[in-house]
Amino acid sequence: MIKITNLKELNHSTTALLLVCMVMTAFTRLCHAAEGNVLLTQLQTFNNNNAGTGQPVVPWLTVAVRNLGINTVDVALERAESIAGFVAKPEQVGYIAFPDALDSRFISSQDSSILLKTMRLGVAGWTNICTAVDISSRDTILIASQSSRNGSDGGWVRRCHSNDSLFGLGIDEDTSQDAERNHVYEQVSLVTFSKPFSAHFDSGDTSWKMEAGQLSAVSTFNHPAFNHIQFKQQYEVPPVVVILPGSAGPAPVSVRIKNVTNTGFDMRLMEPAGTDDLHVAQIVHYLALTPGIHKLADGTVIEAGIKSIQNLQSGTGIDGTRSWNRIQFQQSQPQTPHQQDKMSTADAARFLTQASFGPTDESIRQLTQLGRYQDWVQQQMELDTNHQLQPTQAYWLKNCPLNEDGDLINSVTEIADTWEASMGRHNLWWQTVLNGKDQLRQRVAFALSQIFVVSDKPQMLENSQFGMASYYDTLLNNAFGNYRNLLEDVTLHPVMGLYLGMLRNQKADPERNIRADENYAREVLQLFSIGVHRLNLDGTLALEDGQPVINYDQKTVQEFARVFTGWNYADVDWEEWIGDGSRVLPMQAVEKFHDRGSKQLLDGFEIPAGQTARVDLEAALDNIFNHPNVGPFISKQLIQRLVTSNPTPAYVERVASVFNDNGSGVRGDLAAVISAILLDTEARNGHKTLPAFGKLKEPLLRLTHLYRAFDLQPTRKEGSFWEHDSCGRGEYPAYVMGDSWSDLSSLGGEIGQAMLHAPSVFNFYRPDYSPAGLAGTNGLVAPEFQLATENFVVNTANLLNYTLFWAEPVTTVNEEGLSWLDFSQIRDLATNTENLLNYLDRVLLNGSMSGQLRAIIKQHLDNPDFQNHDDIQLDKIRDAIALIIISPEYLIQK
């Protein structure tokens, strides 16, 4: 049995982790169900060395791997952080692919039965955590290779700890650029043999050989030269050799080999540049295998090969082109049966957590019946949109038919914009996200509202609630449209014009010492499109001379500011009337105030002089839209809002590629981008393969999830829904949550988040926020943790529990009534604790409830005290939900 445990306590004030993963019995986060291959790699040659005698090797190389799939894998030489050294000649990369999650046996030449197991697991950085593999026998041979390249500084896997029965793995890093050896989690392929062996297989006309064992890698203090190793048996052709370096010595180290022959090979411990290359002796584990495609008696297919590769990957701060070489496996591993299974309710619930405002029993059932995610996405994209403005206005008109002068309002265009519509706007949003069918569009618009941020915190927009509703409609309308149109509609919306100052922005007037307002120019570049620094397609920083490259400078901002001059409310005259105009109609150009000079925009693009405001604007937005950063910049943030805080670069690249070309040559197709995000293998399977996959649930999404799962019912009140005097009185429905949370429109101060109510254009949290503690130490970002302050954490929990425990069903018009959750569907279930927990597991935890959590809740629900309650079922339901929604495994969406 193999078990993964964490060994080292962090030198940090965090609780120690216990990572337990038992192969073949239960899979937890670090382990995963079988899927495709594991892959071992090793450089077989030592063709490049520009270093002088006695100097560390340059270029110092290992093997980089990513996109390990069923049929293919990307491989490159990894130069990591070491600056020096040119790869003049290709190196031979040896690779061995096994089926994943293997549990197989074969007989060795010594007539022993050898147990062969494989798995993929997440391994932490060298100075972060030593991820330990708890082995059953001290004889076990473990070979491992890194199978992802999440960290920008390269890295390779190494033993980080060993004693008789514990065996740790860590991702080591070279120190050529800096002293740190922190590293984000990487996926590692691990192959274990129960003891050292050599084996000879004959199957029909093919014969092949394999051996594994321990070797002594000698100290380079005493033996700077390569040391010769003899195989246990003679091979017909030189085998592929893979080695896992040991844990000894304070400096980073890997193992290089060369001169692999039928009888043996040369081996040496190799420290990277930045060290003295003097390393102490250590035990290393090795595997050697005849190249080719082989079958074990039980049908297990093993593929070993050698590929000549010169493609290079380098670490942060290293210049040079980067490329990958794709290896095509000759023999695909058969897909494991579960991949062909029909969608489980757990799969459906997970998907709906990402693509809607929370799964419900009904939406889970509908999706599983539909059977395919893409069909659901397609259906959703074709649904009618639940807009904000029109129903809010209509509702207002019905309730408040008179204007300030007491005259009858004839049409919605005559309704004055006001802060008094705030409750209506929020109420409508809650109705829509809780009950609306167009869940995906609403969820995407919500995500976009956190990128293209406007906020009604400033007074001018607090007084413009219909304008806010109209802005939200702009996001809804463009959610599955083209990014270029979205950018233009947002730019010309008067609410954005007010928020970031493009409205009534005028050309420079030297007489009056006036310059164009730079606010919108700066933020549209920095936050809505390309960001400050140049990015690679995979969302990582692009470097030149080892340093980030800025996309624009102050001059560029000034030039864009001049583009965005001469725009005013559509319905008022610039000079005669400076008061309020329409907060709904797109801004209109007033040429007199537009700067008609030439402008130099991004990447040397120039707008000629003498053009109109509209022509300039179109050209400038095209210039932004076609910048290569937009794809990765926007894609990554959408992934973070919907799926996971720390997408792998490969995931970002796949989505950004779709942004750049939807397959029909169209750039910026957001429908295609959203599909790519949700249908990606990482979105669907990341929780099984990536140790830090997922995100902290946003406070608002915690609310919507619970309210949807148990169909929150508005209370019915007597009086006026609007706070406006002229509005009629009557009966109206409202979401009322408690004493201090009078309604769902005033949550911002309590839980830190409300619709279009961020503290600034930088949203409720920043996409790169990384909290101190485990997330920070592991190089993870976790934006939503910026809201996890003590007061918000407590208030959010109390708000949810207040409704859960205090709100009773009220069907009459009632001033005291609270909005209540409807448990009538599950009352009967609650007579059986297991049935109740199964239901809650499905709708709240995507069927991933841990055995431990289940046991704790079950023990509580089985407490005989419940027999004294008036309503046993209801109280059990409430307690079980309260305990689930405060649990960390619920709070992290995976």
Place of tokens 């055995």: 851
CB of 558 to other proteins, least distance (A): 6
- Cα separation of 60 and 83, whole Å? 9
CB of 404 to other proteins, least distance (A): 23
CB of 124 to other proteins, least distance (A): 8
Handedness of CA 147, 151, 152, 156 (dihedral sign): negative
CB of 620 to other proteins, least distance (A): 16
Backbone angles phi, psi at 648, to 5 degrees: -70, 155
- Cα separation of 110 and 92, whole Å? 32
CB of 51 to other proteins, least distance (A): 22
Task: Please say which residue, 789 or 814, places its beta carbon nearer to other proteins.
Answer: 789
Task: Please say which residue, 307 or 457, places its beta carbon nearer to other proteins.
Answer: 457
Structure tokens at 281: 């002796």
Task: Please say which residue, 42 or 637, places its beta carbon nearer to other proteins.
Answer: 637
Spatial strand order of the sheet with 240-244 comes to: 197-203, 206-217, 282-289, 240-244
Q: How many CB atoms lie within 10 A of CB 828?
A: 11
Backbone angles phi, psi at 208, to 5 degrees: -150, 165
Task: Please say which residue, 500 or 613, places its beta carbon nearer to other proteins.
Answer: 500
Handedness of CA 355, 358, 362, 368 (dihedral sign): positive
- Cα separation of 530 and 49, whole Å? 40
Beta-bridge mates of residue 837: none
CB of 501 to other proteins, least distance (A): 4
CB of 359 to other proteins, least distance (A): 20
Burial (Cβ within 10 Å: 0-12, 13-18, ≥19) of residue 697: buried
CB of 793 to other proteins, least distance (A): 5
- Cα separation of 439 and 434, whole Å? 9
Burial (Cβ within 10 Å: 0-12, 13-18, ≥19) of residue 478: buried
- Cα separation of 814 and 469, whole Å? 29
Task: Please say which residue, 372 or 766, places its beta carbon nearer to other proteins.
Answer: 766
Task: Please say which residue, 320 or 546, places its beta carbon nearer to other proteins.
Answer: 546
Residue 669 CB-half CA count within 13 A: 15
CB of 393 to other proteins, least distance (A): 26
Structure tokens at 668: 């910026």
Place of tokens 């400033």: 458
Host H or E run for residue 660: helix 649-660
CB of 715 to other proteins, least distance (A): 21
Task: Please say which residue, 40 or 561, places its beta carbon nearer to other proteins.
Answer: 561
CB of 17 to other proteins, least distance (A): 6
The amino acid present at 409, given as its one-letter code, is: I
Burial (Cβ within 10 Å: 0-12, 13-18, ≥19) of residue 781: buried
- Cα separation of 555 and 516, whole Å? 12
CB of 189 to other proteins, least distance (A): 19
CB of 29 to other proteins, least distance (A): 5
Task: Please say which residue, 400 or 590, places its beta carbon nearer to other proteins.
Answer: 590
What are the CA-CA distances from residue 378 to residues 289, 440, 875 (Å)? 48, 10, 40
Task: Please say which residue, 484 or 562, places its beta carbon nearer to other proteins.
Answer: 562
Task: Please say which residue, 371 or 759, places its beta carbon nearer to other proteins.
Answer: 759
Structure tokens at 151: 């960290």
CB of 806 to other proteins, least distance (A): 9
What are the CA-CA distances from residue 2 to residues 96, 212, 789 (Å)? 21, 18, 39
Task: Please say which residue, 205 or 790, places its beta carbon nearer to other proteins.
Answer: 790
Place of tokens 């147990």: 115
Place of tokens 């003498």: 610
Burial (Cβ within 10 Å: 0-12, 13-18, ≥19) of residue 726: middle
CB 765 within 8 A of CB 751: no
CB of 570 to other proteins, least distance (A): 18
SS3 track for 58-106: CCCCEEEEECCCCCEEEEEEEEECCCCCCCCCCEEEEEEEEECCCEEEE
Helix axes 422-435, 439-448, angle to 10 degrees: 130
Task: Please say which residue, 99 or 317, places its beta carbon nearer to other proteins.
Answer: 317
Task: Please say which residue, 465 or 795, places its beta carbon nearer to other proteins.
Answer: 795
Task: Please say which residue, 283 or 797, places its beta carbon nearer to other proteins.
Answer: 797
CB of 612 to other proteins, least distance (A): 21
Task: Please say which residue, 331 or 850, places its beta carbon nearer to other proteins.
Answer: 850
- Cα separation of 177 and 315, whole Å? 9
Task: Please say which residue, 342 or 512, places its beta carbon nearer to other proteins.
Answer: 512
CB of 800 to other proteins, least distance (A): 10
CB of 105 to other proteins, least distance (A): 29
Sequence-distant (≥ 6) Cβ neighbours of residue 185 within 8 angstroms: 122, 123, 124, 125, 150, 171, 690, 691, 692, 778
| Cα dihedral 426→432→433→437 (10° resolution) | -170
| Secondary structure E strands in 271-331 | 282-289, 292-295, 301-309, 312-314, 325-328
880-894 burial string, b = 16+ CB within 10 Å, else e?
bbbbbbebeebbbbb
Task: Please say which residue, 10 or 70, places its beta carbon nearer to other proteins.
Answer: 10
Number of residues that this document lists for the chain: 894
Summarize the chain as % helix, strand, coil (round to 5).
Answer: 30, 20, 45
Task: Please say which residue, 79 or 522, places its beta carbon nearer to other proteins.
Answer: 522
